[in-house]
Structure 1
Amino acid sequence: MGPTIILYLLLFIIPFIGEVFYSFTDWNGISSSFNMVGLKNYIKTFGDEKYWYSMWFTIKFSFFTVIFSNLIAFVWSYILSHDIPFRNFWRALIFLPRIIGGVILGFLWRFIFQEVFVQFGKATGLSWFAQDWFSTESSSFWALVIVFTWTLSGYLMLIYSAGFASIPDTLIEAATIDGAKKGQILKDVIIPMLMPSITRCLFIGINWAMLLYDTNISLTSGNPFRLSEGATMNIYATAFRTNQMAYGAAKSTIFVLVVVAITILQVILTSRKEVEQ
């Protein structure tokens, strides 16, 4: 564990401490000197409507993405937990989108939305496909949700599959012998035994969705008019594009606290429902 702890300290803990420190200064990220300004950056952040709009956008995006990706992953893993032909092939195929990098994923789906979907919509008369996907806040939002759900569900499927594999066959057999239907077995046996996997998948989904940046910038670039800009994009723009590093650090610190609070609450709520095997 030593190397892992050292890397975690160097890459996460120490930079975060430095971020908190600089959030109380007026450092612009370039100058060799700075002054302490107290809570000025935090007061400014709480009055920044654009930042809180991006925060709300991120929370909404995370909510729908986590729900959809977990449902899809659960269904896939449930189907593939049965003895079906080419089961490992289907698992690999569903996981494949996770291998594609976030920036490439965004550009790839941008082409699909602007060319493939539009042409398909025109050919079939389905206006939902033929729309200009990045011209409105709503369409940009759902484009992001579709893409991230597509790439996240394959990864979560592996965790759920491991959870299904850990459920003793004797429990399913005993429930079947007692006359339980498939729906009852799923509700009263499988889901309670899968709660550890559900806790992990929700935790991973919330963190990855809240911290989304690369796919956001390559797919929508915040368009239209920064209405599809996530919190991480807003923080980056503040810190690096306008050289307000201290102000960006204050925004980032608040964002980290929000993410930590949400994930802790989720872990507490779902871990209480876990049962021992």
Structure 2
Amino acid sequence: MVLPAVLLFAAFHTFPALQGIYYSFTNWNGISLDYEFVGLKNYLNLFKDTVVKDSYIFTFKFAVAASILVNIISLAVAIGLNAKIKGRNFFRAVYFLPNVLSVLIVGFIFNFFFTNILPDLGEKYKIEFLAGNILGNADLAWIGILLVFVWQACAFNVILYLSGLQTVSTELYEASSLDGANAWQQFWKITFPVIAPFFTINMVLSMKNSLMVFDQIVAMTAGGPGYSTTSIALLIYNGGFSGGEFAYQSANAVIYFIVIMVISVIQLKFLQKREMDM
């Protein structure tokens, strides 16, 4: 019963990945049948390419900011939704809704919002900050993408944090209240240690997803203005499939895979050690 799934996974995932590693040692442009082995030339050239370097800097900056915001907002919303309020199941469904929407469609909608609606409102009400198109500003475009990414990413993280909060016994809160603990002390000494495994999962997943940001950028800025919002994933896609750099960007993808794997392993080890220390 498992064999068909294994064969499909190997055919559409493992084999293409191994092919990409193979082509990374060649000079194939992705179209012609002729290519030569160039050894480590592609990998060495990556470290000299300023466009690649800038893409890595942008991606890491974006990933750090997104991971922090996603987890802070998600945890705060989850705590609010976990409270005994009327209609909390309705609000849980509302907060999860962004997770089921198409990322590209959401990106196109917000592209229109930032490009047309906000500037019109800024001009109408004489708000200078809103009058300009944020996506057309090389220094601010990434913030627009960040807002959309965080809004959509929080939906899944909220559900995970809600699951964690369900494991916290109310008796612990009652006992701490009798001892005079305030809300912050209860959170830091009771809630957070109990949900630490969920925090670990959310941090690793949010960092990994942030590093792989692609759809929002395609829909909102296409990597511009210039290369100011070009993530590594977008650079690999554009260079590999339309820029005649298939082998070169295959090498970039291999390096990128190693970077994400190393970051994820370091995160897991550090955060799991922190769980044990709590």
Which TM class, normalised by the smaller chain length? over 0.9
CA offset at residue 88 of structure 1? 1.0
TM-score norm. by structure 2 comes to 0.93
- Structure 2 counterpart of 1:18: 19
- Structure 1 counterpart of 2:216: 215
**CA–CA distance in structure 2, aligned partners of residues 67 and 262 of structure 1:** 15
- Structure 2 counterpart of 1:235: 236
**CA–CA distance in structure 2, aligned partners of residues 130 and 9 of structure 1:** 51
Aligned residues: 277
Distance change >3 Å, CA 5–CA 270, structure 1 → 2: farther
Asked whether the equivalents of residues 192 and 275 of structure 1 are also in contact (C-alpha less than 8 Å), the reply is no
CA offset at residue 23 of structure 1? 0.4
Deviations 1:60-79 (A, max 9, x none): 11111111111111010001
More displaced, 16-25 or 126-135?
A: 126-135
Letter in 1 for 2:190: V
* Helix, strand or coil at the partner of 1:137: coil
RMSD: 2.0
Q: 1:69-218, aligned counterparts within 5 Å?
A: 69-218=70-219
**CA–CA distance in structure 1, aligned partners of residues 196 and 8 of structure 2:** 30
Deviations 1:114-155 (A, max 9, x none): 122222323333322222212222221101110101100111
**CA–CA distance in structure 2, aligned partners of residues 274 and 10 of structure 1:** 39
Deviations 1:220-250 (A, max 9, x none): 1111112111111111111111222111100
Unaligned runs of at least 5 residues, structure 1: none
**CA–CA distance in structure 2, aligned partners of residues 95 and 7 of structure 1:** 31
TM-score norm. by structure 1 comes to 0.93
Q: 1:46-61, aligned counterparts within 5 Å?
A: 46-61=47-62
Deviations 1:174-207 (A, max 9, x none): 2222221111000111011111111111111111
Asked whether the equivalents of residues 63 and 211 of structure 2 are also in contact (C-alpha less than 8 Å), the reply is yes
Asked whether the equivalents of residues 192 and 273 of structure 1 are also in contact (C-alpha less than 8 Å), the reply is no
Distance change >3 Å, CA 229–CA 99, structure 1 → 2: same
Unaligned runs of at least 5 residues, structure 2: none
More displaced, 265-274 or 83-92?
A: 265-274
Letter in 2 for 1:187: W
Letter in 2 for 1:70: N
Letter in 1 for 2:217: N
Letter in 1 for 2:24: S
More displaced, 182-191 or 258-267?
A: 258-267
Distance change >3 Å, CA 228–CA 37, structure 1 → 2: same
Distance change >3 Å, CA 10–CA 195, structure 1 → 2: farther
CA offset at residue 106 of structure 1? 1.0
Identity of aligned residues (%): 27
**CA–CA distance in structure 1, aligned partners of residues 15 and 66 of structure 2:** 31
Asked whether the equivalents of residues 54 and 229 of structure 1 are also in contact (C-alpha less than 8 Å), the reply is yes
**CA–CA distance in structure 2, aligned partners of residues 265 and 140 of structure 1:** 30
More displaced, 266-275 or 182-191?
A: 266-275
* Helix, strand or coil at the partner of 2:207: helix
